[in-house]
């Protein structure tokens, strides 16, 4: 009977194994292969040695990703808390409002910010009417970070909200019965039990922020190139797949390190929540 169950389990898992092999393992092997070979297929370390030329770009990508992640956390945590403490109907409405922008194409959302932030755009026209403008907002580092925050903010709100909805109200009532005020309840009860959601949100925002390229091109005007821009250029313009693969390999390693660290933090909190990958 156990053998039959084992065989059935293997058969059920086989589609997932085949899918993982075709679309995860094989592409990773191809990236590693191209990273350590030249255009003739010969082994070389030249692609790896050239990475030092883009140290500034890597650091800029990480820095922008950190800033965007912090801003998303500062905005998302109170929003998620308010939603989680609201009535069921209100929660559904507010979650829908958070999700609505995600229904729109990523490119269209970014283009809309180009219209808003342009020197003669909507915001500057409004500022001109009250005598407070115009302000140069497009093609700046701030515009790039703003685009990251806008596009990835829902990925911070949703996991934190999900964890907070699972918080047992009896814990809050017990803390209040013991004389804790609202601030102490929030710090000692709510925050510790929401760490797993925070860790998940940080990972889900930081990873795409570091690897993005379209936001920096459209809102940064090409003046604030991120590592994703360099990778795209190698594949789309320079046709240098080998160096592009080397850049991709380093970016994957950085992302894996980030996810490993975040999972460590997630495993140490009381709720034992893992990072959503």
Domain assignment present for residue 220? The answer is: yes
Domain assignment present for residue 75? The answer is: yes
Number of domains the chain is built from: 1
Domain assignment present for residue 250? The answer is: yes
Is residue 7 within a helix (H) or strand (E), and if so which, with residue range?
helix 2-20
Closest Cα partner for 193 from 155, 170, 166?
166
Range of the domain at 251: 52-276
Domain assignment present for residue 183? The answer is: yes
Domain assignment present for residue 102? The answer is: yes
At 270, which CATH number? 1.10.3720.10
Q: What is the pLDDT of residues 34-51, one digit of tens each?
A: 999 999 999 999 999 999
DSSP 186: I
Lowest mean pLDDT among 8-17, 135-144, 165-174, 247-256: 8-17
Measured between alpha carbons, how far is 190 from 160 in angstroms, rounded to an integer? 11
Mean pLDDT to the nearest integer, 223-232: 92
Q: Any idea which residue has 């460590």 for tokens?
A: 264
Predicted confidence band at 273 (pLDDT cuts at 50, 70, 90)? very low
Measured between alpha carbons, how far is 72 from 149 in angstroms, rounded to an integer? 6
Measured between alpha carbons, how far is 190 from 184 in angstroms, rounded to an integer? 9
Predicted confidence band at 155 (pLDDT cuts at 50, 70, 90)? very high
| Spatial contact of 140 and 250, defined as CB atoms under 8 Å apart | no
Q: Any idea which residue has 């915001």 for tokens?
A: 123
Domain assignment present for residue 44? The answer is: no
Q: Which two tokens stand for residue 92?
A: 């559904």
In the three-class reduction of DSSP (H, G, I as helix; E, B as strand; rest coil), residue 37 is classed as: strand
pTM recorded for the entire structure:
0.86
Domain assignment present for residue 8? The answer is: no
Domain assignment present for residue 237? The answer is: yes
């Amino acid at each position: 009977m156990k053998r039959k169950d084992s065989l059935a389990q293997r058969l059920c898992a086989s589609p997932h194994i085949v899918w993982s092999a075709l679309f995860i393992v094989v592409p990773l092997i191809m990236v590693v292969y191209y990273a350590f070979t030249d255009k003739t297929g010969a082994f070389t370390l030249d692609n790896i040695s050239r990475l030092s030329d883009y140290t500034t770009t890597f650091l800029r990508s990480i820095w922008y990703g950190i800033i965007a992640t912090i801003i998303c956390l500062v905005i998302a945590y109170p929003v998620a808390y308010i939603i989680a403490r609201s009535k069921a109907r209100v929660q559904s409405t507010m979650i829908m409002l958070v999700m609505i922008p995600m229904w729109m194409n990523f490119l269209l959302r970014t283009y809309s910010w180009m219209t808003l932030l342009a020197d003669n755009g909507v915001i500057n026209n409004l500022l001109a009417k009250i005598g407070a403008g115009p302000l140069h907002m497009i093609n700046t580092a701030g515009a790039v970070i703003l685009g990251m925050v806008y596009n990835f903010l829902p990925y911070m709100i949703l996991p934190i909200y999900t964890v907070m909805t699972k918080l047992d109200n009896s814990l809050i009532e017990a803390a209040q019965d013991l004389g804790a005020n609202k601030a102490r309840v929030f710090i000692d009860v709510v925050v510790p039990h929401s760490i797993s959601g925070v860790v998940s949100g940080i990972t889900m925002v930081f990873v795409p922020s570091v690897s993005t390229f379209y936001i920096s091109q459209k809102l940064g005007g090409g003046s604030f190139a991120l590592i994703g821009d360099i990778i795209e250029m190698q594949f789309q313009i320079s046709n240098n797949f080998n160096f592009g693969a080397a850049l991709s390999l380093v970016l994957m390693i950085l992302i894996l390190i980030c996810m490993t660290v975040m999972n460590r933090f997630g495993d140490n909190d009381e709720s034992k929540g893992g990072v959503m990958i």
